[in-house]
Chain A
């Protein structure tokens, strides 16, 4: 192999190595946490910080769905860390009506 070819190959390999690999993404499918609205895309290895009561379902790059429930990691700081006041999707109180999330208290 000529020197020129070697240089070309080396340059090609270096270019390939320097190119960031296409990072897999996860898609937020369902969420009651304001920071992660449904439809948002995040890096697959992103650590979702969820407050207590937070619940987020995501589709990973591996084509699997996962549900993350808070409290998890550190909640996002500051005013933007506030969460939407959505109650748990499943109430443990018995319900005596056709509709309604919770018993009145």
Chain B
């Protein structure tokens, strides 16, 4: 008589491991692990613990063109070129360190106004940095106009930077959450043209962008992390921010432009509800969107201060391997069997604390979610790879 065949324990264990691994991979894929939660937790950390300025930034000023600025004009795009010329003249007269124009010049407007703007840029005293898009991304007429415009305004002191922002969108299978976290790479198709803010920072001397290209966000003065967590906002602008129409009316309004803008990097750009508004790590608590102009200013502030956020390179994988091994070791420890839940809670708390301390004191990003996932997976693997007698022993033993 043949006895009933039983499945060997190692087969069950192997099947469980395979099934678990498949589910794990599926979950990773579906919810964009570890990057989705990793990004979210990193964003929250940034929003709460980024460097807070002692006072409003004293080297950068923003001039915003808004719907109110354009109310008297018959069209809103492209921005009236005489308006831009007048703004440049007003700012130039206040002796700024440099002027940055966060504006795309990819189509003609009124010829006389176009020519006025070209002449104003050529004749300005302050260094001017213009924004541009990669030729390959523009239709032929736009490419031709931009190319001709940039050529026409060339003089010593006029430079061009690209206006792209660093949005991570590398995997076509995953919907990007469109959050700006990085400084965009140089444009390879334009001879490694640097980003707008990098070109501006270059006017102040040598600078460098760290390999990870993470933006070092700064927060306005006046709030602490606890009040930010509860939704409080600073009333102070991070950067001195003036509406363009007030700058244009400074002669009558008495706005002291020389005192406000003298020796500063003055960035001019738009703030419209339907254009150039972006999510950043600072949006995580409030869902606020920030203008491209503000993001360029943040990058410029970072470069001027030579501030960096570091990422783990190869060390990242070594760290994960060590944590996984520690997890397996812990999972196999018989004496810890009944305290697994506590170990997991404490692990989360410790990792959160490490993550915050690394960010606040070391300014490097500790991959909290990846480490937590690997640690818990290691513990589970350790637990289930124990000999059957140990793994299934009832609580409290016999």
Contact = CB atoms under 8 A, between A and B. Distances in A.
A and B interact physically: yes
Interface of A: 27, 29-30, 38-39, 57, 59, 63-69, 89-92, 95, 97-101
Interface of A: prevailing SS: loop
B274 A30 contact: no
Contacts of B66: 30, 89
B240 interface: yes
A59 B255 contact: yes
Interface in B274-312: 274, 277, 287-289
Interface in B208-263: 233, 235-237, 240-243, 245-246, 249, 253-256, 259-260
Contacts of A100: 274
A57 B249 CA distance: 16
Contacts of B255: 27, 59
A38 B246 contact: yes
Contacts of A30: 66, 68, 243, 246
A66 B274 contact: no
Nearest to A91: B273
Interface range for B: 20 to 34
A82 B259 CA distance: 35
Q: Which 6 A-B pairs have the closest CB atoms?
A: A64-B56, A66-B235, A65-B237, A65-B241, A30-B243, A66-B236
B237 A66 contact: yes
A12 B335 CA distance: 86
A100 B241 CA distance: 24
B242 A59 contact: yes
Contact of A65 (B56, B253, B287, B289): B56
Contacts of A90: 273, 277, 288-289
Given A29-B242, A38-B246, A59-B255, A67 B274 contact: no
Contact of A64 (B237, B246, B271, B288): B237
A89 B289 CA distance: 11
Contacts of A63: 240, 256, 259-260
